[in-house]
A and B are shown apart, each in its own frame.
Chain A
Amino acid sequence: MSPIARASDLIPVPDFTEYQVPISMPPAPDHPLWEWFNVSLLLVALIAASYIALVNRSRRAMFLLTVAALIWFGFLYEGCICAIGSIQNVVLAAFDSSYAIPVTVVLVFLLPLVFTLFFGRVFCAAVCPLGAIQEIVAVRTVRVPSWLDHALGLFPYIYLGLAVLYAATGTAFVICRYDPFVPIFRLSGDVNMLIFGGALLVMGVFVGRPYCRYLCPYGAILAVLSKVSKWHARIPPDECIKCRLCEDSCPYGAIELPSTPPSREDRPPERRRLAAMLALAPLLVIGAAGLGWLMTVPLARLDHNVRLAERIHAEDTGQVEGMTDASEAFRNTGQPKEELLAMVADIRSRVRWFAILLGAWTGLVVAVKLISLSVYRRCDEYRPDRARCVSCARCYWYCPGEQVRLGLIDDVSELVDLETLEAKPTS
């Protein structure tokens, strides 16, 4: 059956005496200048956030910027395109030459990365609307147990791998589909995601920034880049006196405490542990790659055609009754089932390679975490962990040195007794 109706099948356009048959024209799209305006606003916000985090050091200014970003990039701009989602556009453009990526999207993707390489995660601090909405509700935060924090902290990297897999195969943009906060910004959207977003916000009152810390795939990239940033927020403006006043000031558990080197008798077991982890790493990567290979079929199920083929198969074998819109429409096209099955086989073979890579990536992420936990890192002062710190500027105020810098006190000794500090071990 041809989808094009033949002229003889149609009722002809009448031969009117005067009436001119009109022609419908599609309306013109929005002006592209709008996108450029938003990119320049992003740049301005990034500069402002960097300045506040590193020079001005004012929590109040940072908070105002956060609110502004939430209102503009969140509630008024309503979300698309955002830096987090732009990962997928970039990946799709890299794998699919028929997809043209706008320059504005490339900039939205790159600008926060470049700023992170120089100033730390200032994008997360007060520019990203998803971060901003969580930042504002984080008022009664508790400390997440270290083991749980480390374990959950692996998810963003795995989620990033998943998002890349689905964008590269052209299956879906999962980051956008499962974005918890954009439905809140738009005050409309999928009800499940609205509930998820609401739940994250409630949770965010007690666990600071749950999405940023345990889900955000863009944050995962930023965390890695932030480790080598040129400049980064420091808690004391000059010397750290280890007064411990800032210790509990971070709602995101991102303050590294001064470390004590392992004692002489502890060193051999520590070394053995590191050696074991290093030996385990390749096994983890290979094993997880195998697991990824096994996951091919469920992973491919996100593709529409795969789901359609499975549905049609289930209908034909009598496992389900009735037809869905999709299966009915497919049957009406008269396309043979074999063609669909061949297409599904093709999709699965394409997904298979990415699934193996995703598995290997997951194994690598776990291995790197295990190795980094086995390495002793020297730390002489209270300082932000560059990967986890989002430069929110909360901790500055707690530092006596900062009070001196602001001219509120003349000397740190007005706040802390330096002699007792000397006497007490810091851990």
Chain B
Amino acid sequence: MMADTSSKKDRRGFLNDALRTTSVIALAGAGGFLAGRRSEGEPMVWQLDPDQCIGCGHCATYCVLDESAVKCVNCFDMCGFCDICTGYFEMNYLALDTAAENQLCPTGALVRKFIEEKSGQRFYEYTIDVPLCIGCGKCVIGCALMNGSLYMQVEHDRCVDCNECAIAVACPTQAFHRIPASQKEILKRRAEAVLGARGRRMMREAGDDAGMYREGAELLERALTQRRWRQQQRSASTASSEPEGTARDA
């Protein structure tokens, strides 16, 4: 009887040891495999595609942060510097001034600054006071009536990188994507074009100015990164048999 139990115990112990060793090897294998996958890319962060964004306002309300990590950005190279800015003023404004009742922005985060007057036209610069912006997208919808230079972006110095972004779940057009951390942003295709053109122009006109040449090259690279990402997205979505909603160009 005694011998029986101890041999049973030995068998059990041996089985446990074997299973444990197998598990350790399996875990090591899985770790190695995943680490290999890692070398194919780099950490991913959440970002939204402004071409897909409809300014629904979910970014302001669904973010787990009290003050959303999504903020408005102005691409000045797409901006008309309009006096009557549809992103700045309420549809039925009383006067073209900075009074709160005339502003579209609920927090006064869009700052209007006079630049110059040329042949009877007054031009204003519109910048975002980032700490005030709540990412409601009201100005984005307004601006979309004209040039669409105002667009939303996840600010990665604020974003806590939830494993599943709560805004991405709620987003009605599924505009949120995981992108490589170094890419930081997703530009509108139009912005990609104008920034790329500006980069090329700067490089052309730089002459002896090495600093300007470098800045131009950086800008061009920024635009090219966007193009590469878009191409990757397109090939990925055609690989899964079907293009995404907005993936086709004219």
Contact = CB atoms under 8 A, between A and B. Distances in A.
Is B a genuine binding partner of A? yes
B66 A32 contact: no
A13 B174 CA distance: 31
B38 A106 contact: yes
A4 B193 contact: yes
Interface string B161-191: 1111010010011100010110011000110
Interface stretch (A110-118, A206-214, A236-244): A110-118
A24 B75 contact: yes
Given A22-B76, A189-B166, A325-B172, A29 B156 contact: yes
A106 B173 contact: no
Nearest to B185: A26
A329 B245 CA distance: 10
B60 interface: no
Nearest to A77: B160
Nearest to B148: A5
A3 B246 contact: yes
A113 B27 contact: yes
Interface in B39-88: 40-45, 51, 54, 56, 64-66, 73-82
A172 B81 CA distance: 41
Contact of A325 (B56, B74, B116, B250): B56
A330 B244 CA distance: 11
Main secondary structure of the interface of A (DSSP, over half): loop
Interface stretch (A85-93, A126-134, A144-152, A267-275): A85-93
A13 B81 contact: yes
A188 B23 CA distance: 39
A177 B178 CA distance: 17
Contacts of B242: 339, 342-343, 346
Interface string B134-173: 0000000000001110000101110111111010010011
B24 interface: yes
A12 interface: yes
Given A98-B236, A117-B20, A176-B162, A29 B181 contact: yes
20 contacts: A3-B51, A4-B193, A10-B146, A13-B76, A19-B115, A23-B198, A26-B153, A26-B155, A27-B184, A29-B45, A78-B160, A90-B34, A103-B38, A106-B34, A114-B27, A117-B27, A176-B164, A189-B166, A225-B23, A339-B242
Q: Which 9 A-B pairs have the closest CB atoms?
A: A100-B41, A11-B80, A2-B250, A325-B172, A173-B164, A29-B156, A326-B172, A343-B242, A176-B164
Given A10-B190, A93-B37, A343-B242, 6 more contacts: A23-B195, A28-B157, A88-B163, A93-B34, A228-B23, A325-B173
